[in-house]
């Protein structure tokens, strides 16, 4: 449950994070695309498998909510998780 509170795409957890940010008066961070990743010799099969499993998890989550009225928002959140948030830049 602890990870869900900080990372979940579920509307309940997203709304809680938004409320906490508003109460703390945190600035809105700017989104930036992560620099292109270049595979190195240190990359291993295990890390690639983990990335594939995480992508499949996200797709399964979205498939489970496919009939939801908020599916478009969930898809957008899933995509935004692929971006880097730079807390030093306010958008």
Question: What radius of gyration do the chain's Cα atoms show?
Answer: 16
* Structural domain span for residue 76: 2-90
Listed as ranges, residues in the chain with pLDDT below 70 are: 1, 31-43, 83-91
| Angle value at C-alpha 85, between 81 and 90, nearest 5 degrees | 135
Residue bearing tokens 């010799």: 41
Report the pLDDT value the prediction gives residue 8, as an integer from 0 to 100: 79
Taking the C-alpha atoms of residue 55 and residue 71, their distance in angstroms, rounded to an integer, is 17
How far apart, in Å, are the Cα atoms of 15 and each of 2, 19, 50, 56?
15, 6, 28, 24
- Domains: count for the chain: 1
Contacts of 82 (CB under 8 A, 6+ apart): 34
Q: Is the pTM of this model over 0.85?
A: no
């Amino acid at each position: 449950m602890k990870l869900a509170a900080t990372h979940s795409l579920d509307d309940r957890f997203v709304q809680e994070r938004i409320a906490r940010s508003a109460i703390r008066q945190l600035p809105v961070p700017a989104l930036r695309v992560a620099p292109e990743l270049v595979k190195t010799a240190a990359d291993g099969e295990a890390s690639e498998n983990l990335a594939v499993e995480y992508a499949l998890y996200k797709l399964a989550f979205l498939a489970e909510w496919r009939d939801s009225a908020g599916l478009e928002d969930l898809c957008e959140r899933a995509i935004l998780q692929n971006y880097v948030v730079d807390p030093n830049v306010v958008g």
